[in-house]
Amino acid sequence: MSSVEHEIRAVADLSARRTREHAWRQFAAARSAEEYCSSWLALQCHAIGAVSDAVVVLQKPGTAVLVPVAFFPDPPTDRGRLAQVTERALKEGQGVVLRLDAGNDDGQRCQLGHPVQIDGEVRGVIGLELEPRADGQVRAAMRELQWGSGWLEVLLRRHADPQEAARLRLKLALDLVSALLEHEGLAEGGAGFVTELATRLGCDRATLGVLDRGRVRVRAVSHSGQFDKRANLLKFIAEAMEEAIDQRVAVVQPPPDAAEPVVRRAHEELVRESGAGSAASFVLESSGKVVGALTLERPAGQEFDQPSLELASAVAAVCGPIVALKLGAERGVAAHVFHVVAALWRKIAGRGHPVYKLVAAGTLAAALFFAFASGTYRVSADAAVEGEVLRAITAPIQGFVREAPRRAGDAVKAGEVIGRFDDRELKLERVRLTSQQGQYHKSYREAMAKHDRPQAAMALAQLDQVGAQIALVDEQLARTEMVSPYDGVIVSGDLSQKLGAPVERGQVLFEVAPLDSFRIALQVEEHEFGDVAVGQKGSLAVNSIPLERFPFTVTKVTAVNSVKDGRNRFRVEARLEAPPGRLRPGMEGVGKIEVDERKLVWIWTHSLVDRIRLWIWSTLP
């Protein structure tokens, strides 16, 4: 493509865009049905493209007569050119396509007709004649015509219903605000929104500003993706916005008829400096709070009419909450927290909201109570009951278990038999040794009778040897009975299921603990170990007797540690201050060691605070 052709196309595109903008301005500012339909038809023909002839026929208000109200181009070359297709569309009550000539490589000329219906009743018709195009493009043009005919239905309903004008303004406002919602950020969405608004209302410029710390900051200007915030004209626009915000009313310069008396000095200065024909600012509010303003400027010689002002006011009312939401999304974490806290404070300190006030008062009372109230600081630890003395009874000989009258858990007296070994082999061995001893006595007497001193000495030595063996067997026979060394309870050992089983010498068979001498073994966690000292009081609750408390005194703080559930624990021993009662060695529970009096808030939070301090220390370089 040559540079001349490129320039021609650019000029054509610019001319088409200006024509569309002009049509939009006429469409938004239309004061009669004819102006409305003419501007709509021009926009529809531009949207479809390559339309050589078009007409809009509507029912005359109050009668059943259909009259043409708009042509394209205007004036038309032939008023009856589209009569056939419009009559068929009226008669059939649906869209009609008429082929005018034989098709060629570029397509086929055709005419389109589509009825305008209100509640199933035909109230008008639209006719178009298209330049040659393919069948797919013809179907697309029919769809565009069907969608666009809805605007004419709106017009007819407005004439039939006095409230239809308000609904139409609201629909236009929603169409405009949709441009604000197309983008996530306020900068991009605001630029598209004010550009569309300026085009629809025939304005030279539309500006969106937000209220930030009592001052207006311009965020978007129509037909401009980037702008210099320090420009003098934007300064005048911001002042005009602040003037409207301070008065909380829309400000129009020059004012329309019967307008309320308001201050317009900033708007007068804006009109004078920008050379605009008129300027208007509308306040943006959300939940009763001002979030910004919207300023519109029309070219010289044009003023804002009442429909345009009503439409702009509706747009401002709808987009105010949306702007507030987008501003909230742009806040940082700190700003968002500050905003939430400030809103909560306004509810607490302001009028109304009794629930918030009651909750705040209760929270404050609880905080004061915990800040000044004191309590006993106790260190909790897993605890177990142990015998102060634990005696082990081992197998004195290698043999077999004969009987076991007692087992673990039984209380025994001092000297009571708790188990016996099989002694039959030992008794047989003693009989054998006794018989052998008799033989050696006989040999000794015979040697003495014969005065055989060597033989007598040998027999005497054999007698001593057999005597020693008999003494050993007697000692082993005496140990076949296992007895309790003192009054107590068998902590471990159960031979009742091992009768006849062999045991090795030295094997631990029973463990006996006294009944009146217990100690408490507590496993204190490492982060609380430093608060425990000898002499501190406490109490124990065991799992089997949870409702009863057993007081104790710490007697020993050891450096013996163990790891359980991934936590390091140290052993602390304590002595019961009262008779053990139903306590038995091996019982487990929870012991609490009383340290001193401290603030409740410290007692409940010191563990977490200490861990946080340690974590901070570990992360510091």
Query: Which amino acid is residue 117, in one-letter code?
Result: Q
Mean pLDDT, rounded, for 9-14: 55
User: What is the pLDDT at residue 50?
Assistant: 82
224-260 burial, b at 16+ Cβ within 10 Å, e below that, comes to eeeeeeeeebbebbbebbbbbbeeeebbbbebeeeee
Give the highest mean pLDDT range of 347-351, 363-367, 400-404, 453-457. 363-367
CATH among 3.30.450.40, 3.30.565.10, 3.30.2020.30, 1.10.3210.10 for 15-160 = 3.30.450.40
Q: Which fold has domain 168-330?
A: Beta-Lactamase (3.30.450)
User: What is the pLDDT at residue 9?
Assistant: 59
232-247 helix and 265-274 helix, angle to the nearest 10 degrees: 160
What region, left, alpha or beta, does residue 158 occupy, with left being phi > 0 and alpha being psi -120 to 50 degrees? alpha
| pTM metric for this prediction | 0.42
Mean pLDDT, rounded, for 413-438: 75
The partner residues of 571 in beta bridges, in order of sequence, read 523
* CB-based contacts of 154-157 (< 8 A; 24+ apart in sequence): 155/33, 155/36, 155/37, 155/58, 156/58, 156/59, 156/116, 156/118, 156/123, 156/124, 157/118
Mean pLDDT, rounded, for 17-42: 73
Burial level of 514, CB count in 10 A (0-12/13-18/19+)? middle
Read off the pLDDT of residues 281-298 as tens digits, 9 standing for 90 and up: 999 998 888 999 999 999
Cα separation of 404 and 499, whole Å? 8
Order of strands across the sheet with 121-133?
Answer: 66-72, 51-59, 121-133, 108-118, 96-99
The partner residues of 386 in beta bridges, in order of sequence, read 519
User: What is the pLDDT at residue 352?
Assistant: 80
Does 280 have pLDDT greater than 90?
yes
User: What is the pLDDT at residue 233?
Assistant: 85
Q: Residue 420, Cα to own-chain centre: how many angstroms?
A: 70
**Mean pLDDT of the residues in the chain:** 80
Does 480 have pLDDT greater than 70?
no
Any residues with CB less than 8 A from the CB of 336 and at least 6 apart, and which?
A: 328
* Angle subtended at Cα 56 by Cα 50 and Cα 60, rounded to the nearest 5 degrees: 175
Mean pLDDT, rounded, for 371-391: 82
Cα separation of 110 and 223, whole Å? 38
81 CB neighbour count, 10 Å cutoff: 15
The partner residues of 374 in beta bridges, in order of sequence, read 599
What architecture is domain 517-619? Beta Barrel (2.40)
Read off the pLDDT of residues 131-168 as tens digits, 9 standing for 90 and up: 888 888 888 888 888 888 877 777 666 655 445 456 65
Going by C-alpha positions, the residue among 359, 498, 489, 478 that lies closest to residue 427 is 478
Read off the pLDDT of residues 545-591 as tens digits, 9 standing for 90 and up: 888 898 999 998 888 888 887 788 899 999 888 877 778 777 899 99
Cα separation of 487 and 491, whole Å? 13
**Intra-chain end-to-end CA distance of the chain, in Å:** 66
Read off the pLDDT of residues 99-117 as tens digits, 9 standing for 90 and up: 876 656 567 788 889 888 8
DSSP structural state of residue 104: B
Residues of the chain with CATH 2.40.30.170: 517-619
SS3 175: helix
Cα separation of 572 and 528, whole Å? 12
User: What is the pLDDT at residue 161?
Assistant: 47
Longest dimension (CA), the chain: 176
Residues of the chain with CATH 3.30.450.40: 15-160, 168-330
Read off the pLDDT of residues 287-335 as tens digits, 9 standing for 90 and up: 888 999 999 999 888 888 887 888 888 888 888 888 888 887 777 677 6
The token pair at 108 is: 């086929």
Pairing mode of beta strands 374-387, 391-394:
unpaired
């039959």: which residue's tokens?
A: 424
